[in-house]
Structure 1
Amino acid sequence: MDLDRERIANLAKEFRNRSRATARDRWHAVRFNLVLALQAALAAALAWLGSHELLGNPSPVFAPISAIGTLASSVGQRFRRTVEMIFGIAIGIGLGDALVFAAGTGPWQLGLIVFLSIVVSIFLGGGPAVVTQAAATAVLIATLDMPHEANIEFPRVIDALIGGFAGLVVLALLLPLNPLRIVDRAARPALGRLADELSETAEAIKTRDAPRAQAALDRLRQVEEHFQGFEEALEGGRETALLAPVRWRRRGALTQYVESSEYIEHAVHNSGTLIRRAVTALEDEEPIPEEMSNAVTMLAEAVRLLRRDLGHGIRPEAAREQALQAIGQAGRAYAEGVGFSGSVVIAQVRTTGSDLLRATGIQRLEANQLVRRAAGGHAGEAAAEAARQPGTPPSTGRSGGPSGERGPAR
């Protein structure tokens, strides 16, 4: 009886904890999307007002629908989605009005209108967004209580155009998001997880705990799940910086983040190889100098500094210095003596450190020179030289891998 009571009490406590966590998560989601809700409300109101006043439409349904559809499109794709949406609305309006005017309304007419809207949209080369919008608009035409008169298709298409334009005006002029904040929020989960797992690996190396390092490797694999959202955020940031004049001053900082994305991804892959070989070195009981753990710890700190500097749009000198210090520690570890897997860990510290240097805006040849100097015991001199490098966005060239290596180790 006492066991049952204890079990019930534990379940109730767990339920309360989960409920609190869920409520916090939901409130965080509301706060994160609050600006989007305000944008949608403002765009819908402007679209209705514009259509009502400009066209004299007493019931401008399609204007607010188009405005909200523009804002609901994936960030970075709103230009294209808006065009597709208006195209789909035009198809749905044209077919819906024609068939309702000719055949009236009813269940079979509705089915026929949806079928023809989809077929015509596909025939005209429309993508999924066009097909969906055409079918949905046709349903509205066939079911809403609207006057079904001839020659009203064009005003309804203009209605949709006004809505799309209202959505873009809100995005560009009235409530534009901060493009750097969009990208930074998307990058933080990936960079945060990378830094945390590198720190965890450093502790595992220090305590010679192979299972702990393996657990860090397993968690690091989850970083790749964040990269899709990161790429979409980059597109959205570029779009906002292009559309919104008040955000044009963020273009330089945003460009650095955009150009850094390739090398951030390389750093994640190379860190995975680093941790995997660290697990092997620990399992094989290879010699592990103290400097190896120090190098990985400094590498994790370099990732944190890079995330901070890119998010604030400032010159990432601290991240450069920390990456070179990590490479210097790796060079000392190699001089102390390591096994086969340990030498791979050292090499991956150098490669990942080079990735981070490239992400800060240093060109490939300069990064290679700095890495060699730091590994040769001149980390301080290399860091001073890195600090003098201009804080320009990194090159978009794709010739060769980030540290002179042939791409990221996988």
Structure 2
Amino acid sequence: MAFTASRVSREQVRSDVRRRLARLRSKRWHVLQAAGAAGVAWFIAAGLLGHVQPVFAPIAAVVSLGTSYGQRLRRVTEVTIGVALGVFLGDIVVQIIGEGAWQMTLVVAMAMVVGIFISSGQVFRNQAAVQSIFVMGLLPTPGAAFTRWTDALIGGAVALVAASIVPAAPLRRPGEQAAVVAKKIASLLRAGGQVMLDADAVYGLKVLADARATDPLIRELQDAAEEGMSVLTSSPFRFRHRSHVHRVAELVEPLDRALRSTRVMVRRAAVSAYRGDIVPEEYYRLAFGIADAVDVVEAELAAGRSPDGLSEEARAVLLHIGEQTGLVQRSDSLNAEVILVQLRSIIVDLLGVTGMGQFEATDALPPLPPRGSEGSDGS
């Protein structure tokens, strides 16, 4: 028992280390960018302009860049003005009435009042207050207001330039994550089809647990799409990627719907296996066929192809399978009927991934055959 607990503990530690290393890898560009901006801001203020200890230049640069791409332009502006305001007010108060507890109270109140008056942003007024505290508490040298104010502006300007320089990785990530979601849909379709084929309730519960754990995949896709759009906003150098990123962002909704429909289908397959319901064999063949079409979409997304150019082959396969749903045998089992309906929903959602509109995709499927139909002969 002690050996097992120790082994589990080691596995948890290794998993935690891997997660932390993955987080570090995902943020390495932010680290390099902030550190580089801090160094450049210091060099300009100290090396080129001759300012003594220009600490506010790197502070403004680092604080401005310490956020997501979408917030950076606004953050740079707020932080630059907020830091400059706080530095200026702190220096003015030190020169006129000196330093002390009540002077600290006064300068913080002034900074926050002016900050609230100028902007409703909390970051703005907080930076104004914090920098006024910094000036009064650590650098109360009179007569340096203009120099420190200039340093803050230098740091903000450097941050603004740095914010417009972004790697291509955030622009590739939405397509890569969309491929991950598509791969999971294909995997669940095949697993659900196998549950129908084998009527294995135990395996069905395992597949269902896997399907229920897929919400993070969609959240990651949404985050990746938002980050990609934010990069386009903050970087004029990535304009040529605009169409690609916009199109990938449009895949989020149909992929989300397809994954949700797949979860429902898997649940009904598991329940059918548990209750011993008979599911027509055409249904698992439909699931396998849809999975094959999703494989094509996944491969093209993973390869970085534009969603506008997603394979016509995948659409043709999906349309063919959709036609087959109008020829299959109907079932008296409610669970089997829901499986058939969900398979059709998955097809409609995946046709949306290939660029078809919701109504167009829905109209492309034939009506279900009447109950009691013997279905097609598979030819």
**Contact persistence 1:76–1:233 (CA under 8 A):** no
The reply on whether 1:169 has 2:161 as its aligned counterpart is yes
* In structure 2, distance between residues paired with 1:307 and 1:288: 28
State the alpha-carbon separation in 2 of the partners of residues 99 and 372 from structure 1: 78
Residue in structure 2 matching 1:19, options 13, 17, 38: 13
Match of 2:226 among 235, 239, 255: 235
Q: Is the 8 A contact 1:327 1:374 kept in 2?
A: no
Deviation at 1:229, TM superposition (A): 4.4
Shift of 1:40: 1.9
Offset of 1:46 from its aligned partner?
A: 1.9
Distance 2:314 2:44 in 1: 50
Q: Does 1:359 pair with 2:350?
A: no
Structure 1 residues 16 and 105: alpha-carbon distance in aligned structure 2, compared to 1, 3 A threshold:
same
- Among 247, 250, 261, the alignment partner of 1:256 is 247
Query: Which residue of the partner structure matches residue 327 of structure 1?
Result: 322
- The answer (yes or no) to whether the contact 2:188–2:211 under 8 Å persists in 1 is yes
Determine helix, strand or coil for the equivalent of 2:168.
coil
State yes or no: 1:42 paired with 2:33. Answer: no
**For residues 102-113 of structure 1, what are the structure 2 equivalents within 5 Å?**
102-106=96-100, 109-110=103-104, 113=107
In structure 2, the residue corresponding to 1:335 is in which secondary structure? coil
Of 22, 37, 51 in structure 2, the residue corresponding to residue 57 of structure 1 is: 51
- In the alignment, the residues of structure 1 paired with residue 280 and residue 46 of structure 2 have an alpha-carbon distance, to the nearest angstrom, of 75
Aligned residues of 2:174 and 2:224 also touching (Cα < 8 A): yes
The 3-state SS of whatever aligns with 1:76 is: helix
Q: CA-to-partner distance for each residue in 1:116-171, whole Å, 9 max, x for gaps?
A: 5445434544233324333332332233335332652xx54443343233234234
The 3 A distance-change label for structure 1 pair 208 and 30 is: same
Q: Within 2, Cα distance between the matches of 1:194 and 1:105? A: 65
Match of 1:349 among 333, 343, 351: 343
Q: 2:278 aligns with which of 284, 287, 290?
A: 287
The equivalent residue for 2:372 is none
8 A Cα contact 1:88 1:133, kept in partner: yes
Q: Secondary structure at the match of 2:255?
A: helix
| Structure-2 separation of matches of 1:321 and 1:148 | 76
Q: 1:320 to 1:156 in 2, by over 3 A?
A: farther
Q: Tell me the CA shift for residue 182 of structure 1.
A: 3.2
- For residues 141 and 252 of structure 1, do their structure 2 counterparts lie closer, same or farther at Cα, with a shift above 3 Å needed? same
RMSD: 3.7
Taking structure 1 as reference, are residues 221 and 8 closer, same or farther at Cα in structure 2, changes over 3 Å only? closer
1:77-96 to structure 2, matched below 5 A, reads: 77-96=71-90
Q: Is the 8 A contact 1:294 1:326 kept in 2?
A: no
Are 2:290 and 1:296 equivalent residues in the alignment?
Answer: no
Asked if 1:75 corresponds to 2:77, the answer is no
The count of aligned residue pairs is 369
Determine the C-alpha separation between the residues in 1 that align with 2:55 and 2:295. Answer: 49
- Whole-angstrom CA distance in 2 between matches of 1:15 and 1:344: 43
Structure 1 unpaired stretches of 5+: 1-6, 381-410
Q: Which has the larger radius of gyration?
A: 2
Residue correspondence of structure 1 range 139-150 to structure 2 within 5 A: 139-145=133-139, 147-149=141-143
Alignment CA distance shift 1:167-1:327 (3 Å):
farther
Name the counterpart of 1:204.
195
Contact 1:121 1:130 in 2 (8 A): yes
Aligned equivalent of 1:274, options 265, 273, 276: 265
C-alpha distance in structure 2 between counterparts of 1:290 and 1:103, whole Å? 88
TM-score computed with the length of structure 1 as normaliser: 0.74
Once residues 223 and 100 of structure 2 are traced to their aligned partners in structure 1, the CA distance between those partners, rounded to angstroms, is 42
Residue 198 of structure 1 contacts residue 299 of structure 1 at CA under 8 Å; is this kept in 2?
yes
CA contact (8 A) 1:197 1:216 kept: yes
Aligned-partner residue type, residue 235 of structure 1: E
